[in-house]
Structure 1
Amino acid sequence: MLVLAFDTATAAITVALYEWTPGEGAVPRGLAEAVDRRRHTELLTPSIAGVMAEAGASPDDLSAIAVGVGPGPYTGLRVGLITARAMGEALSVPVHGVCTLDVIAWATGRDEPFAVATDARRKEVYWARYDAARARATEPAVGPPSDVLEGAPEGLPVVGEGAALYPEVLGVSGHEPLLPTAGALAELAVARLAGLKGPALLPPEPLYLRRPDAKEPGPRKKVTPA
């Protein structure tokens, strides 16, 4: 089983190709990562091509595609989702969504409760709490950093870029990993597709959690003749 995974829901544009075999488990075949908040469109497709070339694989070899569905800002998030859907339709392979917060949580490998927070701009964060790296305890949410720890046990660790941006609220250390990696995304997706325990795979639909900043123009105002 060969799975292509990528995520553009944060500043990271990250792509990985993983293969699952019963004897070896999830094995990385190729990886590309970049951090650029403004160039998701320009970087994603070349990164996918580079990873496939690195592995000596062709698109027809793919068994599935996994894509981060956020929560994340509208512009970056839709780049990954549109690309995943287009590839899935063209190749006739299934496309699975993965919550981006779950990807960061998975990479921690933690066995104890913690929270994940990413940058939502507007002085807010996207966040969720976890019982362990493979078990999310709450639904993803967006709001001020103080929401993350409201009603939580004292001293709950918080990881992710959102935690690093607001250390006065969410703690001053232990925020790594800050951004999702396609390696963790691919491992999570492959584990679930192989029937192992982990967060549920989702439809490839965006988790925006709030409306985009851009709005459709309203009707033109009437002009009163002079």
Structure 2
Amino acid sequence: MLVLALDSSATASVALGQWTADGVRLLGQCKTSDTRSHAEVMAPYVQQTLEQAQLTAKDLDAVLVGRGPGPFTGLRAGIMTARVLSFAHHIPCYGLMSLYTIAESAYEHAQEHQNQRFLVATDARRREVYSAEFELTEHGYQLCTEPAVGSASNLKDLPVYGAGAGLYSNVLNAVADFTHVQPEAYGLLHAAWRLGQKNLKTETSALYLRESDAKVPQSMVTAGTA
């Protein structure tokens, strides 16, 4: 099964993988460390990733997109690109919370260090983090709490993986060697494979978790009701 994954919840990335009974075989990927150029790079990254594998969008069996949480503009870029691909080529589009990708990177370390429960965190700006709690299971890990946004100082006293932990290591139990980890498409492929296709959902609405910074001027609101 050929799956193209996109994530723009923090940085921007695209990855193409073949799902097999034994795991995921990476066929191509493009990513950037920039957190502000999502709209410009997502569509070109899709094309470049497919070209790496000498395939076209017509060869895909499914599209997978990270739903966030993340900033408004960046998150929309990835979700809309995924939806357009799904619609244009008549293939299913699955959505998955982006923080799963950090849990995918972290769970083996958590097993080794007996961190039965752990947190993952990314930068939410405004001196806050997006976070979620996970728990180790027999086959990997599972989500314990829905994603949230708030001050790092309000998080539980658990090991924390991800770039959000690195930003606030003075108040968090940040796990060394994981303080740079961001959600990305390659991890999304693995996390979704671990969950299994039958457990994936076609819900692709964005997980913003808070209102937009952009506000409609009061003068326009008043004019619209006149």
For the aligned pair, the TM-score class normalised by the smaller chain equals 0.7 to 0.9
Whole-angstrom CA distance in 2 between matches of 1:121 and 1:52: 33
2:15 is matched with: 16
Is residue 128–residue 148 contact of structure 1 (8 Å, CA) maintained in 2?
no
Q: 1:144 to 1:43 in 2, by over 3 A?
A: same
Question: TM-score w.r.t. structure 2 length?
Answer: 0.87
Say yes or no: does 1:145 pair with 2:143: no
- For the aligned residue pairs, the C-alpha RMSD in angstroms reads 2.0
- Number of aligned residue pairs: 212
Any gaps of 5 or more consecutive residues in structure 2? none
State the identity %: 39
Give 3-state SS (helix, strand or coil) of 2:204's partner. coil
- Out of 72, 77, 80, the residue aligned to residue 79 of structure 1 is 77
Is residue 161–residue 174 contact of structure 2 (8 Å, CA) maintained in 1?
no
1:214 is matched with: 214
* Structure 1 segments of 4+ aligned residues over 6 angstroms from their partners: none
Whole-angstrom CA distance in 2 between matches of 1:58 and 1:98: 23
Q: Residues 110-189 of structure 1: matches in 2 within 5 Å?
A: 110-111=110-111, 112-132=116-136, 134-149=141-156, 152=157, 156-171=158-173, 173-174=175-176, 176=178, 178-189=181-192
Q: After superposing the two structures, state which structure 1 stretch, 103-112 or 67-76, moved more.
A: 103-112
1:55 is matched with: 53
How far did 1:202 drift? 5.7
Q: 1:106 to 1:172 in 2, by over 3 A?
A: closer
Give 3-state SS (helix, strand or coil) of 1:168's partner. coil
Q: After superposing the two structures, state which structure 1 stretch, 28-37 or 200-209, moved more.
A: 200-209
Question: TM-score w.r.t. structure 1 length?
Answer: 0.87
2:7 is matched with: 7
Is residue 99–residue 202 contact of structure 1 (8 Å, CA) maintained in 2?
no
How far did 1:147 drift? 1.9
How far did 1:26 drift? 1.6
Any gaps of 5 or more consecutive residues in structure 1? none
Q: What one-letter code is carried by the residue in structure 2 that aligns with 1:119?
A: D
- Out of 41, 44, 56, the residue aligned to residue 39 of structure 2 is 41
Whole-angstrom CA distance in 1 between matches of 2:168 and 2:153: 9
Whole-angstrom CA distance in 1 between matches of 2:200 and 2:54: 30
Larger Rg: 1
Whole-angstrom CA distance in 2 between matches of 1:25 and 1:128: 25
Whole-angstrom CA distance in 2 between matches of 1:202 and 1:25: 21
Whole-angstrom CA distance in 2 between matches of 1:202 and 1:158: 29
Give 3-state SS (helix, strand or coil) of 1:47's partner. helix
Q: What one-letter code is carried by the residue in structure 1 that aligns with 2:75?
A: L
